[in-house]
Structure 1
C-alpha cells in the first residue's frame, strides 16, 4: 500500500466518520442515494433528508414505483431537482434491465442517468469493495493541495491529471474505508478556508503546506458576472386558506415542480391573477433574492387574498388549489415553500 493511503487509513481508523446513516447498512442503493444528495450539499444538511427519503422509499424498487410528486416532495429543499428525476429514472431502468439492482459493472452503472465516473466509483468502492477511484469536490481539494496542482479543478486538463493521481493513490485493500477517509479528510480538516494542517495525517508531504499555498489551492474558478432576473410571484389565496399552485413546464429551473404563478411585472401580475381567479385587492409582500449557481432571482411576492377560484381551474391539470397539508406532499421549490410557510 502506498504511503499516502497508509497514512490516510491510519487517521481514518482513529478519526474517520463511521456512523453515517448510509453506512448501516452500506448497500448500493443507500450509497448511491447519499452520493447524489451530497453533491453540492454538506453532510449535516443531507442526513435528515436521507433518513426521511429511505424511510419513505427504502428500496430501489420503491423509488422506481413512486409517484414523481412524492419523490420531489422528499427532495424539496435540497435543490438541483434534476438529480431527483435522474435518481428515479435510473431506478426504473434498473428494474427494467438489471433485475431491480444497481449493476456492479462500471460501464453499465455509469451509463445510468445522473451517475458519472466519480459516483459510479463511490458506489462500487463503498458498497462492493471494488477498486475504483473517486474525485468529488473534497477529493479534488485534498489532491490539489497535497500535490501542488495549479489551475481550476473543473478545467479538463486539470481534472484529467487529478483523475490520474486519484487512481494511482487508491489502494487495492480497504478501498471502501479509503474512499470514505479521503472524503472525510476534505470535509473535516482540508476544508476550503483555514484548513487544520497541524492535525492532517498528510501534512509532512503536502506541497501546499510546505510552500504556503493552502489559501491559493485549489485555484479559483475564473470569475464571471452573475446576472439578476426579476419575477413577480402571485399568491392567490381563497377564503379557506388554500393557495393556487401551478405546475412548471419541462424546461428551466424547478421544471415539473409545483410553484406559484409568475409574471414579469405588476401589470401582468394583475392580468394573470384575473385570468385565474376572481380577485378584489392585492398586497405587495417583502421581496427577496434566491441565488442559483448561474444567476440570482429577485422575487416580488404579491398576495391576492380572498380570491375565488374559476370553475375551469378544477379541470386544469396544470393548476390546483392546495392547503398546507396538501402542499407538504408536493415537490415545491425551497424558496416558495418558505414563502408560503411565512405567510
Structure 2
C-alpha cells in the first residue's frame, strides 16, 4: 500500500510516568491509604489504652508528630519515587554489606594473626559474597539467569529518523510498534553513549602516509588526517551502542527465537541488527559493568554526532 507523500506524521501522547499507581480514593493510591490507615489505627489503639490516664491535649501533642511523619511518608516524593519506598531503600542500603567479593559460599573469619582492624576498637566487617543474577553465558550468546530464564542480546544500530519524510517516519514507527505488540515477555533497550577521540586514528593515517605507493595517495591520507583533526575540534563526536535484551522463561530455544524475531522486526524498520554470540555477549556485558571502558566497535553501532531516533 503506497502512502501519500504529504501524509501527516503520526503523533501519540505518552504519559510521563506510565508506571504511576492508580488512585483509589481521595486522590490517594493503595499504598498511601494503607500507610495512613495503619497509622490511624495505631494512634486510635494507643488513645483507647491511655485515655483514662493521659489528658487529651497531651496525647494530641504526642500524636501530631507521628501523624505528620506518616502523612509525609505517604504523600512525599524524592528522586521520582515515593518517600516510603525511598526510606525503605535507604534502610536496605544501610544494612547491606559495603564490601562484596566473588565467592561460592559464606565468607569465613580470617586467622587470628591477620590484622582486620582499622584502629583501636574499630574492627572491619567481613565482606559478603557477591551474587550476580547471571549464572553464565552459553556459546550461542544466551545469558543464563537460572530460575528467571535466559536473556538474548541483540546489537542494533540507529536510523536517521529526522531526515525521513512523514510517510517514511510513519512506516518506521508502525514497524517498531508491530514488534512491541508482538512481544510476549520482558524486553529492554539500552543505549550507551561515549565520546569518540579521533586523534589516534589521525596519527595512524599520518604514520602510514609515507609508505603509500603513490604521492597522490600520501597526499590524500594527510588531507584525511587533517579533516579528522578538524572534525574532532569542531564537533563533539559520540559513539552509541544500542543493545536489545529479550528475556524468556520458556527455555533457551524460545529465547533464541525471541532474539531472532527482534532482528527481523528491526530489519523491517531499516535498523541493522544481529544476535550477539557468546564472546560478543560477554564483551558487551563486561563493558556495561565498567562505564569508563571504551565502547566496543560493533558492526551495528552509530559513531556520528547526530542523535539517534
TM over 0.5: no
TM-score under structure 1 normalisation? 0.23
Higher relative contact order (CA 8 A, sep 6+): 2
